[in-house]
């Protein structure tokens, strides 16, 4: 499938999502690295993976760039995205994927997917834009254009989801993705629905019709078979030049499922476990219910909880950073596992208290993420600078971005899968102290209650 050209490049609109894409590609036969900056053609050509189980010669067939556009206004996107997309476009690939969260986190003012797509089209001109959001593996389903997400044993329409319906920045008030995206773009949003997908010929005719009309082509996804069928359509109908794709990592699973079925891609034999960590630290900046359960389980098995107090970080940044650093080192020196967290679920009173503190300092509520995540990155760096080899888990997109920035990590690759969308990774860094660091970066809702324990043990049980 790859001879003179890489298969795919992608940009992730938050930090943990691109890790999900890297995992889906690497585990399914397309060796991939995630860069934390837009690489040059030479960097991609010379890059070699450390994990020989993913690829024996270490050469890449795909690469991604971890971004921040989910937290940006359209004006900020104008400053951030053009140069990155231009640099990526200078490395020929068959597809370019603008990767979004599978819960479609976005609004006209923040993380505008339609606006970001318009910028991408300048560098990856495409007459139509396939849009795949559903991914059964992550319990995300799109049915008749409406997005659903499963929590434990309950499947919620996204505008009634316990987290996404009251997201602090981009609450989901509309589950119909045609209507939700319609507020962010002037382009038409067509739908190939589950009934169309029951017949291959009907699905093809609908795709042909919509591709001629232009705009987005949204695909329903309820089952893995739907992804297989969508992968076939994308492969057969793509344009000669780089095809722009938008969506979750459902894009990659669709491509890989079809490639494996037709012999284009061979799934590698990757170990599902690695050794248990002797030194381990967790830093959780997410306020999701899923992370709260993981914190609760961690505390129940003896991890030492250290709250990073948002009010104090806003009020006296360095004093709180130093306090948390000292507390972590004390736990590690006694043989324990420090578990730093900034909130215990979405209803934690410290969230509102921190927002109130920001208001009194005339700062925007939107700055709460960068302030807290930036401080959390410094705390972890301070700890790692004073410790031996250690394994790290980071929960939360903003926190993950600032942590890797603080450590000077420039790329990541998959070590072992632990939970869908949240593998244990190997870091590439110019500083030898951080190069080879084993680090797991997870979104707030990824992983079951025991995820932190799985990372420590090096395998899911």
DSSP 213-253: H-EEEEE-BSSHHHHHHHHHHHHHH--SSPEEEEESTHHHH
CATH 3.40.50.10840 intervals, the chain: 6-261
- The reported pLDDT for the residue numbered 2 is 38
Question: Which two three-digit tokens encode residue 30?
Answer: 């397309």
Task: Give CA–CA dist 292/444, Å, rounded.
Answer: 9
Task: Give CA–CA dist 69/61, Å, rounded.
Answer: 25
Partners of 190 in the β-ladder = 217
List all residues 6 or more positions away from 302 whose beta carbon is below 8 Å from its beta carbon: 336, 337
Partners of 336 in the β-ladder = none
- The reported pLDDT for the residue numbered 51 is 92
- The reported pLDDT for the residue numbered 118 is 98
Instruction: Tell me which CATH homologous superfamily contains domain 6-261.
Output: Putative sugar-binding, N-terminal domain (3.40.50.10840)
List all residues 6 or more positions away from 227 whose beta carbon is below 8 Å from its beta carbon: 132, 135, 136, 221, 250, 253, 254, 257
pLDDT in tens, the chain (461 residues): 334 579 999 999 987 788 889 999 999 999 999 999 999 999 999 999 999 889 888 899 999 999 989 989 999 999 999 999 999 999 999 999 999 999 999 999 999 999 999 999 999 999 999 999 999 988 999 999 999 999 888 999 999 998 899 887 898 999 999 999 999 999 999 999 999 999 999 999 999 999 999 999 999 999 999 999 999 999 999 999 999 999 999 999 999 999 999 988 888 888 889 999 999 999 998 888 889 999 999 999 999 999 998 888 877 689 999 999 999 999 999 999 999 998 888 888 888 887 777 777 655 555 566 777 888 889 999 999 999 889 999 998 778 888 888 899 999 999 999 988 789 999 999 899 999 999 999 887 788 999 999 999 999 87
List all residues 6 or more positions away from 138 whose beta carbon is below 8 Å from its beta carbon: 20, 102, 248, 249, 420, 421, 446
Task: Give CA–CA dist 197/145, Å, rounded.
Answer: 13
CATH of domain 280-457: 3.40.980.20
- The reported pLDDT for the residue numbered 362 is 55
Q: Which residues of 337-376 are buried (b: 16+ CB within 10 A; e: fewer)?
A: bbbbbbbbbbebebbeebbebbeeeeeeeeebbebbbbbb
Burial class (CB in 10 A: 0-12, 13-18, 19+), 57: exposed
- The reported pLDDT for the residue numbered 3 is 43
CATH 3.40.980.20 intervals, the chain: 280-457
Among 109, 110, 82, 59, CA closest to 11: 82
What would the DSSP string read from start to end of 28-75?
TT--EEEESS---HHHHHH---S-TTT-TT---SEEEEE--GGG--HH
Burial class (CB in 10 A: 0-12, 13-18, 19+), 120: buried
Task: Give CA–CA dist 308/395, Å, rounded.
Answer: 14
- The reported pLDDT for the residue numbered 310 is 83
Eight-state DSSP code of residue 336? -
């Amino acid at each position: 499938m790859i001879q003179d050209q890489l298969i795919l490049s992608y940009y992730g609109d938050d930090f943990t999502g691109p890790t999900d894409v890297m995992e889906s590609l690497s585990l399914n036969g397309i060796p991939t690295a995630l860069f934390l900056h837009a690489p040059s053609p030479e960097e991609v050509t010379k890059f070699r993976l450390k994990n020989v189980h993913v690829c024996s010669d270490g050469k890449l067939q795909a690469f991604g760039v971890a971004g921040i556009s989910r937290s940006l206004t359209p004006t900020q996107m104008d400053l951030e995205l053009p140069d990155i997309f231009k640099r990526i476009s200078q490395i020929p690939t068959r597809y370019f994927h603008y990767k979004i969260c599978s819960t479609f986190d976005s609004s006209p003012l923040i993380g505008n997917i339609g606006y970001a797509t318009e910028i991408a089209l300048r560098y990856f001109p495409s007459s139509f834009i396939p849009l795949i959001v559903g991914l059964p593996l992550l319990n995300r389903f799109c049915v008749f254009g409406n997005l659903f997400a499963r929590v434990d044993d309950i499947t919620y329409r996204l505008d009634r989801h316990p987290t996404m319906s009251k997201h602090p920045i981009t609450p989901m008030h509309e589950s119909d993705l045609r209507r939700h995206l319609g507020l962010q773009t002037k382009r038409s949003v067509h739908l190939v629905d589950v009934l169309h997908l029951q017949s291959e010929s009907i699905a093809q005719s609908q795709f042909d019709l919509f591709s001629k009309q232009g705009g987005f082509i949204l695909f329903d996804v309820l089952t893995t078979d739907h992804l297989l069928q969508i992968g076939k359509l994308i492969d057969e109908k793509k344009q000669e030049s780089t095809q722009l794709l938008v969506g979750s990592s459902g894009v990659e699973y669709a491509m890989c499922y079809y490639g494996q079925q037709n012999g284009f891609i061979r799934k590698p034999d990757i170990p599902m476990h690695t050794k248990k960590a002797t030194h381990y630290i967790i830093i959780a900046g997410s306020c999701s219910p899923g992370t709260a359960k993981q914190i609760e389980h961690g505390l129940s098995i003896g991890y030492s909880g250290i709250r990073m107090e948002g009010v104090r970080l806003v009020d006296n940044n360095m004093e709180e950073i130093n306090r948390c650093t000292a507390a972590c080192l004390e736990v590690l020196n006694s043989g324990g596992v420090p578990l730093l967290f900034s909130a215990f679920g979405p209803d934690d009173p410290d969230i509102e208290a921190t927002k109130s503190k920001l208001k009194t300092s005339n700062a925007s509520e939107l700055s709460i993420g960068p302030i807290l995540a930036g401080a959390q990155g410094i705390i972890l760096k301070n700890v790692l600078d004073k410790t031996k080899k250690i394994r790290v888990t980071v929960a939360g997109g903003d926190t993950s971005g600032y942590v890797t920035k603080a450590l000077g990590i420039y790329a990541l690759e998959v070590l072992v899968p632990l939970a869908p969308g949240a593998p244990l990774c190997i870091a590439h860094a110019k500083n030898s102290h951080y190069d080879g660091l084993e680090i797991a970066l997870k979104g707030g809702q990824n992983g079951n209650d025991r995820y932190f324990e799985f990372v420590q043990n090096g395998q899911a049980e």
